[in-house]
Amino acid sequence: MEVYRTPDATFAQLPDFPWDPAYAQVADPDGGTMRMAYVDVGPVDGPVALLLHGEPSWSFLYRQVIRVLADHGIRCVAPDLIGFGRSDKPLHTSDYSYARLVEWTRELVLEHLQLREITLVGQDWGGLIGLRLLAEHPDRFVRVVAANTGLPTGDVDMPEVWWRFRRAVEKAQVLDIGRLVDGGCARPMTPQVRAAYDAPFPDERAKAGPRAMPGLVPTRPDDPASDANRAAWLMLSTCELPFLLPFSDADPITAAMAPILRRHVPGARDRSHPTIERAGHFLQEDAGPELGQVIAQFMQR
């Protein structure tokens, strides 16, 4: 598998993200290994929050959340998915699949880091991957925060705004990562922050992951990931773990998923779920401190 490794110098001017990365080796399909990056912040003996980002962001997205959680004595583990951030980036869209993204994350979190009693925090693809991990390894998790995310099976169509996003990614000759993140925010983004989202991708060839991700979302009942996601829903329909849904008030992509999760996940019923106001799809960027406080209070309850 051909991979691209973003030069470290590209990350030299990140605003408000001072933490050094750590790395682990995860298996590639050809029998080799790839380097997967993560930051591990907060007391090593504190309760664990696993912070999973989505498309096309990276762990930088959680910087404001991490500060709040660490101040509350919570250990924050924020990986960069393979293809994103400081992690290695396979150069062909065919190198990516939903199953591989789940497996690479599982290998890092459950084997290399051997995390237990995990509070899952997933947004966008972070939820698609994290909810699969929860369903397949429920003994490793103690609570869930699902924010602007869901678990599609292809049995219900995605909203038109998502299809427009997918078509834009597929047609773009040059994929403007910073613009995509900025477009998913409800509050102004500084040029320095936008540049931080561009930083992992100084070479257009390295963007195979962001290009591939929209096509990996199950959009038809016979999608390769549909059966595994249906199996995950069977587990979630009996899941009594505390389940919090802090969705934002301005995300047309995932808004419809919150009531589905509230109805079908026992741990989400009869619970007050906060709405993060003045926040778009990337609510960590728009309202990181507010989201951090919500997560900290939930974990300390």
The answer to whether 16 is a known catalytic residue is: no
- Pair 37, 194: CB distance under 8 Å: no
Q: Are strands 75-79 and 48-52 parallel, antiparallel or unpaired?
A: parallel
Active-site residue (options: 53, 72, 223, 281) = 281
Helices (H) and strands (E) in the chain, counts: 10, 9
Please state, in angstroms and rounded to a whole number, the distance separating the CA atoms of residues 164 and 159: 9
- Helices 125-136 and 226-236 cross at an angle (nearest 10°) of 70
For 179-212, b/e burial (b = at least 16 CB within 10 A) is ebbbebbbeebeeebbebbebbbeeeebbbbbbb
Active-site residue (options: 80, 88, 223, 251) = 251
Helices (H), the chain: 63-71, 98-106, 125-136, 160-171, 177-183, 191-198, 208-216, 226-236, 257-264, 283-300
Please choose, from the candidates 19, 77, 27, the residue with its C-alpha nearest in 3D space to the C-alpha of residue 52. 77
Q: Which residues contact 46 (CB under 8 A, 6 or more apart)?
A: 73, 74, 75
The answer to whether 281 is a known catalytic residue is: yes
Active-site residue (options: 124, 137, 227, 286) = 124
Decide: residue 262, CB within 10 A, 0-12 exposed, 13-18 middle, 19+ buried.
middle
Q: Are strands 243-244 and 141-147 parallel, antiparallel or unpaired?
A: parallel
Please choose, from the candidates 11, 60, 71, 42, the residue with its C-alpha nearest in 3D space to the C-alpha of residue 201. 11
Which residues participate in catalysis according to the annotation?
124, 251, 281
